[in-house]
Amino acid sequence: MNKLGLVFLTIGLWLASAQAQPTAKKYWIFFRDKGPAALAKGAEVYRKAAAQLTERAIQRRLKVLPPERLIDEADLDVYPGYLSELKRQGIHPVVVSRWLNGVSAYLTLKQMAAVRALPFVRSVQPVRKLAPPPMPKTPPAKAPKPTKPAVHVYDYGQALTQVSLVNVPPLHDAGIVGEGVIVGMLDTGFNWREHPAFQELKVLGEYDFVFNDSTTADEKDKDLPGAHSHGTATLSVIGGYDPGVLIGPAFRSQFYLSKTEDIRSETPVEEDNWAAGIEWMESQGIDVASSSLGYFSFDDPADNYSYSDLDGKTTVVTRAAQIAAQKGVVVVNSAGNEGFSSWRYIIAPADGDLVIAVGAVDAAGRRVGFSSVGPTADGRIKPDVMAMGTGVWLARASKIDPYGTGSGTSFSCPMVAGVVALMLSAHPNLTPTQVIEALHKTSSRAEFPDTLMGYGIVDAVKAATYWGPAFSNKIEVEFPVVDRVRLAVRVLSDPPIAQNGAFVYWRFAGGGDFQKSAMHFTDSTRLESELLPFDPNQKMELYFAVEVPGKGTFNHPFDVPDRLFVLGDGGDVTPPQFIPEEFTILQNYPNPFAPGTHGSTRFIIGLPDGAEVEAVVYNLLGQKVAVLREPAMAQRGSLVVTWDGQSDSGRPSAAGIYFLRVTFRTHGGTSVIKHKKFTLLRTPQ
């Protein structure tokens, strides 16, 4: 027999009990197209798809896609007419996937035959099943104790060995702790609200795809006790923060949590939920996805994937992971724990060429025997990289015994995902392919990769500095005297920054040329400026620049002058802000927009100087339709105005072409007028 199953990539954490299979089996039903409107390239279906994305998701996609291809057919909703026909036949979808253009549903043999005969159905295949995790052949290892004393900014407790093996502490010491990055976790559930490891965790959203609610922790009368143990453990490895006990690499990142796995039985529910989970989190704007779950082929000839399917484009979860990566998400997945089994190989979706497959080593850097090996079916090297996966110190979902150890690629995976978050925190412009290149080129076996350890053990510092110096997210500010300020920023660079090659560029808000002041190192990573003038009545705009021999000059923020740090009158430096060189109106989004579908459209108005700003919508006849902003003063930076399609009289405006007219009146009395053309649609009722 050759049965496909999903495994929790954990050695010896727990084993799910089995219940009886339902009479009907769960299948994927894939459709041939997205319906008549999509075939006709109807603009409205694309506008509706765009409305499902957060602004953060749009900005991340723009790193890898041109604006005209930001939305593609994969983003379009499944055609409602196809769903209606299934409902007419008594078939109720469990998961509806836009990306895969299909649904999962329980079907009897009679229903399956009827569905296959439908003209709009491309194929029907089983949803792959859950397999119990392999049990360890030896007791789990104890958390290793650090053999060398180390002085760091943070006290990692017993987690020091696992973070040190991948060289995370120097990044933390330099103030690179994952800020500005959003991580999505896919797992069995998360007990994060009460555990001491997560008291500072920033969760932006969570969803249970098993029971379709917003609680990912165990729920009484629904989950088996301890179902959230696996997810709690993996989350702690990447984002836990309990000084002196456990600190993960990306403890200042923000998180979305998806409960996609049902451990109650071997019912085939996980593959479709995984696809739904990553699809949802991508639309919310995650930068990194971490998944310690996977699928492999084992005994059941009716429902199997074979080794030949591990080609990076065949399995459902691999296809979903690849789509996420193509839209700008860095996907990190456990390689698998099949090293001792007859299967041996990595597990989907780790076979994707845009998926970072993570294997396991011990504290000494030696591959652990259970860690799955490559190559993929089409001959590519896998796993990609390695991290510690035995005796890993982690959080347990228990109030009595809240910490312990675990083993498996389940825990090497979130460690590498945490390193990726640090890379993106320092270099938010990096794409998934650039992240993969950096990891491949800087890990311990970069010059001689193989199918046992891939490119080797990750080095967080080398990976974070591969594309240029890694700057701290925090700017230090000191006021030695009343009207003087000294700035400092930490930076890591390989090769080192040139002597006398570090500068801060600054100016008082209101425009004008930047002044250039030298900076010098006060220790191995801290750059400090000379004393700069400070006026508590004026904001200061600034950025940093360093010269690296053989690599060039690098700015922080990387996209100056569009964004700059701003030092306020209270002495706090805000994150980089959008500050244009001239008065401007960025194209509204969405455009075209349909009020009934999108709610409103959004304009960003750029101000190189403070000004009185008025914003008015006009139609093609030059008639005033709506005043979005009465004349009022606005500070230098950016201003957002929105329109819901209603005229000032409260009536819906007709479909057509409109103009936003913005009048800028500066302090000196000069007026500047700019226009932006856009389109309003009306969805047929």
Q: Summarize the confidence of residues 54-65 as an average pLDDT.
A: 89
Residue 507, SS3 per DSSP:
strand
- Distance CA(261)–CA(67), nearest Å, equals 35
pLDDT confidence of residue 299: 41
- Distance CA(128)–CA(21), nearest Å, equals 13
The verdict on whether omega for the bond into residue 414 sits within 30 degrees of 0, i.e. cis, is no
**Does 150 have pLDDT greater than 80?**
no
Where is average pLDDT lowest: 188-197, 212-221, 452-461? Answer: 212-221
Model confidence band, residue 511 (pLDDT cutoffs 50, 70, 90) = low
CA atoms within a 13 Å half-sphere pointing along the CA-CB vector of 145: 2
**Using one digit for the tens of pLDDT, what is the confidence trace for 292-351?**
877 654 445 556 677 888 999 999 999 999 999 999 999 999 999 988 888 889 989 999
**Does 555 have pLDDT greater than 80?**
yes
Q: Summarize the confidence of residues 624-645 as an average pLDDT.
A: 89
Class (C level, CATH) for 470-576? mainly beta
**Domain spans, the chain:** 4-130, 157-464, 470-576, 584-680
pLDDT confidence of residue 599: 73
- Residue 67: burial class (beta carbons within 10 Å; 0-12, 13-18, 19+): exposed
Residue 148, SS3 per DSSP:
coil
Q: Summarize the confidence of residues 198-217 as an average pLDDT.
A: 90
**Does 409 have pLDDT greater than 90?**
yes
Continuous segment of H or E residues that includes residue 605: strand 601-607
pLDDT confidence of residue 217: 80
Model confidence band, residue 598 (pLDDT cutoffs 50, 70, 90) = low
- Distance CA(586)–CA(607), nearest Å, equals 11
Residue 137, SS3 per DSSP:
coil
pLDDT confidence of residue 131: 44
pLDDT confidence of residue 148: 52
Mean pLDDT for the chain? 87
- Distance CA(398)–CA(75), nearest Å, equals 40
- Residue 194: burial class (beta carbons within 10 Å; 0-12, 13-18, 19+): exposed
pLDDT confidence of residue 461: 98
**Does 679 have pLDDT greater than 70?**
yes
Q: Summarize the confidence of residues 69-92 as an average pLDDT.
A: 93
Q: Summarize the confidence of residues 65-83 as an average pLDDT.
A: 90
Q: Summarize the confidence of residues 282-301 as an average pLDDT.
A: 78
Where is average pLDDT lowest: 136-150, 437-451, 570-584? Answer: 136-150
Model confidence band, residue 559 (pLDDT cutoffs 50, 70, 90) = confident
pLDDT confidence of residue 133: 40
End-to-end CA distance of the chain: 53
The DSSP symbol for 175 reads: T
pLDDT confidence of residue 155: 95
Model confidence band, residue 561 (pLDDT cutoffs 50, 70, 90) = confident
CB 279 within 8 A of CB 320: yes
Strand partners, 291: 186, 333
Maximum distance among all Cα pairs of the chain, rounded to whole angstroms: 83
pLDDT confidence of residue 267: 43
Q: Summarize the confidence of residues 356-361 as an average pLDDT.
A: 97
- Residue 331: burial class (beta carbons within 10 Å; 0-12, 13-18, 19+): buried
Q: Summarize the confidence of residues 11-21 as an average pLDDT.
A: 37
pLDDT confidence of residue 142: 55
Model confidence band, residue 58 (pLDDT cutoffs 50, 70, 90) = confident
Q: Summarize the confidence of residues 56-84 as an average pLDDT.
A: 90
Q: Summarize the confidence of residues 23-52 as an average pLDDT.
A: 81
- Distance CA(560)–CA(578), nearest Å, equals 9
Percent of the chain with pLDDT over 90: 59
- Distance CA(107)–CA(657), nearest Å, equals 48
Please list, in sequence order, all residues whose beta carbon lies within 8 angstroms of the beta carbon of residue 420, skipping any fewer than 6 positions away: 288, 330, 332, 356, 435, 439
**Does 5 have pLDDT greater than 50?**
no
Domain 4-130: CATH superfamily is: Malonyl-CoA ACP transacylase, ACP-binding (3.30.70.250)
Higher pLDDT, 183 or 657: 183
Decide whether 4-130 matches 584-680 in CATH topology: no
Structure tokens at 483: 């009207």
**Does 136 have pLDDT greater than 50?**
no
**∠658-661-663 over CA atoms, to 5°?**
175
* CA dihedral (66, 68, 70, 72) positive or negative: negative
> For residue 12, which of 344, 411, 408 has the smallest C-alpha distance?
408
The CATH number of the structural domain formed by 584-680 is 2.60.40.4070
Structure tokens at 575: 């994150």
Percent of the chain with pLDDT over 70: 88
The verdict on whether omega for the bond into residue 119 sits within 30 degrees of 0, i.e. cis, is no
pLDDT confidence of residue 268: 41
The verdict on whether omega for the bond into residue 561 sits within 30 degrees of 0, i.e. cis, is yes
Higher pLDDT, 576 or 269: 576
- Distance CA(46)–CA(61), nearest Å, equals 15
**Does 16 have pLDDT greater than 50?**
no
Class (C level, CATH) for 157-464? alpha beta
Where is average pLDDT lowest: 34-38, 382-386, 452-456, 494-498? Answer: 34-38
Model confidence band, residue 263 (pLDDT cutoffs 50, 70, 90) = low
Q: Summarize the confidence of residues 74-96 as an average pLDDT.
A: 94
In Å, how far from its chain's centre is CA 21? Answer: 35
**Does 407 have pLDDT greater than 50?**
yes
pLDDT confidence of residue 356: 98
Q: Summarize the confidence of residues 418-445 as an average pLDDT.
A: 97
Where is average pLDDT lowest: 27-31, 232-236, 254-258, 645-649? Answer: 645-649
Q: Summarize the confidence of residues 501-516 as an average pLDDT.
A: 88
Please list, in sequence order, all residues whose beta carbon lies within 8 angstroms of the beta carbon of residue 407, skipping any fewer than 6 positions away: 10, 11, 12, 136, 140, 141, 360, 368, 370, 389, 390, 391, 392
Model confidence band, residue 19 (pLDDT cutoffs 50, 70, 90) = very low
Pairing label, strands 656-666, 671-680: antiparallel
